[in-house]
Chains A and B, each alone.
Chain A
Amino acid sequence: MKNNIVYKYIGKVLIGFAILFIFPIIVSVIYHEDFIPFVIPQIISLFLGLGLNSIELKEEEKIFAREGFSIVTISWILISLIGALPLWLNHDASFVDSLFEIVSGFTTTGATIFKDVEILNKSILFWRSFSHFIGGMGVLAFVMTVIPLSKNDKSMHVLKAEMPGPTVAKLVPSMKKSLIYLYGIYIGLSFTEFILLLIGRLPVFDSLLITFGTAGTGGFSVLNSSIASYSLFAKYVVALFMFLFGVNFNIYFLMLIGDLKTALKSEELKVYGALFIGAVTIVVLNTISIFGNLFTTFTEAIFHVSSIMTSTGYSIGDINIYPTTSRVVMMSLMLVSACAGSTCGGFKISRLILCYKSIRREIRRLVHPNSVQVITFEGKKVSEETLKNTNIFLLLYALLIILIAFIVSFDGFDFETTTNAVFTTFANVGLCFNISNFADFSIISKLVLSLGMLFGRLEVFPLISLITDLKKK
């Protein structure tokens, strides 16, 4: 990389990241646990950050799209490597397993390699869930909100590379203010959930960690049984908030400024709602003979559909008893996921709408060869560039899934388990048919799936462009 500004920027990100270690250290002090595993990575992150930050810029360097991609990708890889250290240093898992676990955390996947999470230190549990909370909005988004940046550093290219969705729109003209609003909404929603869970008589520690998991749509839990052993009230609270965190945050912003009309007009929101209701209906009809009781069926369906659709991955029961139709519906939802501009993974509903509209236009063109149609989304014109980009994204998305599935297939699991493991990691869901944890996968599979999670979270292009960039050299 020629551009020093990339290193300098990454330095700043690492300094910001070092600050975050304070939280698990506090937790380990409270619970009288060993805090050394957190201090070591903190020091590494801080010094590496300071070192990189001290690089002198040769001339007036600027961040363009390519630099944006590089900064985001390298930062995410470094943060995953450093973030994995506490688990490894605490002798909870091998380094590859630790890496898988923390990538799963930061990408808000929630797939775990631990067969038993209940024996882990509280501080380690906290660190896992906390990584969801940070990863949900984006590590760089966090750094850009917290750390004072120079004029050049406030680059939309960085934000674009990290923020999910086909297009990134700022809420207000200033980027920093936009981010503060977004974080305000994020923390506000999280806080509400936390309070509601406390009202539901959950322990403070559990409430906090489940809130982290829901907010980032991650899915790491405190208990092996996920949410199953909590009260019905808590289950509904979690189900509701999983759904809410799957909504585009711009809509909350519109509601906050009182523009309810525009907010409710959102095409994406309507499709999200319709898909949700449709999926719940199908699953209820499909599983009622299994559960017998309509209310239980309904609770299960609502919880699991919203868990899978928003790529969270909490569960309140054994999903392996679900019949094939429900599995197909849920696995399709896994890939599509919820709205752009939320904390969800997956393909995003807005892209699905754009693809659907392009398909419809092409079919119209077959019938009316001379027809001209501009595709609009949320009442605005969508550029041909964005459409092309979305279609290519769909293709890459499918190709990568097949490629990863091919590599994982060597582990010798059956077809459904293999594809499902790939879907659930690539779409950052974490919940999976036939698998309760990823401990039995080979080292290579774990590494490839970790990479898959990063691909999924950063939406393919940043990583691909970095790889092609490196290949040129």
Chain B
Amino acid sequence: MKIVIVGIGKLGEHLARLLVKENNDVTLIDKNFEGKEAIINNEDVNYVEGNALDSLTLTEAGIAESDLLISVMKDDAQNLMCSLLGKNLGAKHTIARVRNPEYTNSINIIKDTLGLSMAINPELLAASQIAQTLSIPSALDATSFLKGKVDVVSLKVKEDSKLKNTTISHLAKKIGDSVIICAIERESEVIIPSGNTKIEIGDIIHVTGTRKDINNFLKYTGSIADKTKRVIIAGGSRTSIYLTRMLLDMGMSVTIIENDEERCKEISEKIPKALLIKADVSDQNVLYEEGIKYCDAFVSLTNIDEENIVYSMFASIVGVPKIITKINHIELDGVMQKASIDTSIAPHKIAANHVVQYVRAMEHSGASSCEAVYSFGDDIFEMIEFKVKEDFKGINKRLMDLNFRENVIIGAIQRGKNIIYPSGKDEIKLNDTIVIVSKSNLIRELNDVVR
């Protein structure tokens, strides 16, 4: 597909990388490529320097033949303007980043009027990701699939875990087939497990199942934590506002610590139920006063990565059971583990995954189509939802008779309203939605799962 990306910031760059990896023709537009040479030199992309709100620049970038225009400049209004121009100049689809909460309120009107295919709000996506994770506190991470019917949670195997040194098939005998361990991360490598894969201490395992079954599984492993009730958020960013609303709706109490008084007032006006504290998060007296020792979760959401890391480290020293850290641009492998930061969230990565998912769905429309894609463990493996159409080779065959590729398993099958966690005897039928777990970039379409 021919894709034009406007605005090469964090998100634009990340998107370009992911989309090139997926074999798309990517053209970048930015006013100035100084300091951004890395992306041009290291990735197979074309680029045009100029103002994207100038139709000449867009034409030069080949907008007329393009399938998709993605505008991710700093300013929302410019993104919307650029999408409008792009659409009129021939781009088949347009995606714009819209971050301003006021715009988000009226996003449907804006989308309809401008013919926008998708509006992405990285902060909102990040907030719902965090909220979901907090709802299953013993998990490192939680995402839902199949329109919320199935969750995938990740958890770390600790020394006292019942799971250590058991094989998958042994485990299946004990807990039945209500959940599936679909991927194991071990030292930045991913293992898509088979029956005799052994779970070791320090592994991060990814488990799919319904919320209830996962809770039972967590209970079995002895790693279930108390329900999250009190949350402290460091920093009053936009993500904080979205998150606070979600957490309050889930019945949690939220304290936001923010150093700017005007900002505090603004948030307090928007969310009267939240407790706003005007203070510097780096003042430990304030943190103790606000009961950091007794809170169930600590979320660092300031705009500075380094601060977030330090605050989270402190929370970890104090002994907060659940800590989530927003990391925007630091990409130093291993640092997070060393700083004992288990869960980190990168809004631009979540947003990028969202876009990639959309692009894949576009690509495959017609054939057995990809409905959603989620990437895990720094893009080392992914889960893809496919709708099964007539062209799939494996229809009505038992799974054990299909010759699956290596590193691919089926995580769940949705048939009508039922969710099946498949064993070898199950079959895939027409119009099922299936969730494939695989190492990244193996699967382009559904037929790729079989050899």
Using CB atoms and an 8 Å cutoff, list the residues of chain A in contact with chain B. 364, 368-376, 381
Q: Which residues of A contact B278 (CB under 8 A)?
A: 370-372
Is B279's beta carbon under 8 Å from chain A? Answer: yes
Chain B residues with CB under 8 A of A372: 261, 264-265, 268, 276-278
Instruction: Name the prevailing secondary structure of the A interface residues.
Output: loop
Q: Is the CB of A368 within 8 A of B290?
A: yes
When C-beta atoms are compared, the residue in chain A nearest to B236 turns out to be: A372
Chain B residues lying within 8 Å of A376, measured Cβ to Cβ, are: 269, 272
Least CB distance from A394 to B in Å reads: 22
Do residues A368 and B268 form an inter-chain contact, with CB atoms below 8 A?
no
B residues near A369, Cβ cutoff 8 Å: 289
Residue of B nearest to A357 (CB): B272
The CA of A373 and the CA of B268, in the complex, are separated in Å by 5
Which residues of A have CB within 8 Å of B286? 370
B265 and A368 form a contact (CB under 8 A): no
Instruction: Pick the residue among B266, B268, B277 that contacts A370 (CB under 8 A).
Output: B277
Is B399 on the interface with A (CB-CB < 8 A)? no
Known contacts A364-B275, A368-B277; A374/B289 CB under 8 A? no
For B274, give the chain A residue with the smallest CB separation.
A373
| Cα–Cα, bound, A370→B276 (Å) | 8
Across chains A and B, the number of contacting residue pairs, with CB separation under 8 Å, is 35
CB-contacts of B263-321 with A (<8 A): 264-266, 268-269, 272, 275-279, 286, 289-290
Task: Please name all residues of chain B whose beta carbon is closer than 8 Å to the beta carbon of A374 when the two chains form the complex.
Answer: 265-266, 268-269, 272
Question: Closest Cβ of chain A: how far from B237's Cβ, in Å?
Answer: 16
Closest chain-A Cβ to B255's Cβ sits at a distance in Å of 8
Interface size on B, residues (CB 8 A): 15
- Extra A-B contacts (14), CB below 8 Å, given A371-B276, A374-B266, A375-B272: A368-B289, A368-B290, A369-B289, A370-B278, A370-B279, A370-B286, A371-B277, A372-B268, A372-B277, A373-B268, A374-B265, A374-B268, A374-B272, A376-B272
Chain B residues near A368 (CB-CB < 8 A): 275, 277, 289-290
**List of A residues within 8 angstroms of B279 by Cβ:** 370
Specify the chain B residue showing the minimal Cβ separation from A372. B264
Nearest opposing residue in chain B for A381, CB measure = B269
- Give B residues with C-beta under 8 Å from A: 261, 264-266, 268-269, 272, 275-279, 286, 289-290
Bound-state Cα–Cα, A258 to B272, Å: 27
| A residues in contact with B275, CB < 8 Å | 364, 368, 371, 373
Please name all residues of chain A whose beta carbon is closer than 8 Å to the beta carbon of B289 when the two chains form the complex.
368-370
Bound: A370/B278 CA distance, A: 5
CA distance A373 to B289 in the complex (A): 17
Residue of A nearest to B266 (CB): A374
A370 CA to B272 CA in the complex, in Å? Answer: 16
Q: Can you offer 18 A-B residue contacts whose CB atoms are under 8 A?
A: A368-B289, A368-B290, A369-B289, A370-B277, A370-B286, A370-B289, A371-B275, A371-B276, A371-B277, A371-B278, A372-B261, A372-B265, A372-B268, A372-B276, A373-B276, A374-B265, A374-B266, A376-B272
- Interfacial chain A residues near B277, Cβ < 8 Å: 368, 370-372
| Min distance, Cβ A179 to any Cβ of chain B, angstroms | 31
Minimum CB distance partner of A364 in chain B: B275
- Nearest to B268 among chain A residues (CB) is A374
| CA–CA, A364 and B289, complex, Å | 13
- The closest CB in chain A to the CB of B260 belongs to A372
User: Which residues of the other chain, A, contact B269 by a CB distance below 8 angstroms?
Assistant: 374, 376, 381
A286 to B279, CA, bound (A): 51
- Residues from chain A with Cβ under 8 Å of B290 in the complex: 368
Instruction: Return B268 CB to nearest CB of chain A, in Å.
Output: 4
Alpha-carbon distance between A381 and B272 when the two chains are bound, in angstroms: 10
Residues on B with C-beta less than 8 A from A375 are 272
Query: In the assembled complex, which residues on chain B have CB atoms less than 8 Å from the CB atom of A381?
Result: 269
Within the assembled complex, what's the spacing in Å between the Cα atoms of A457 and B60? 73
Alpha-carbon distance A368/B289, docked complex (angstroms): 8
CA distance A137 to B268 in the complex (A): 36
| CB of B89, distance to nearest CB on chain A (Å) | 42
* Docked pose: A368 CA to B279 CA in angstroms: 11
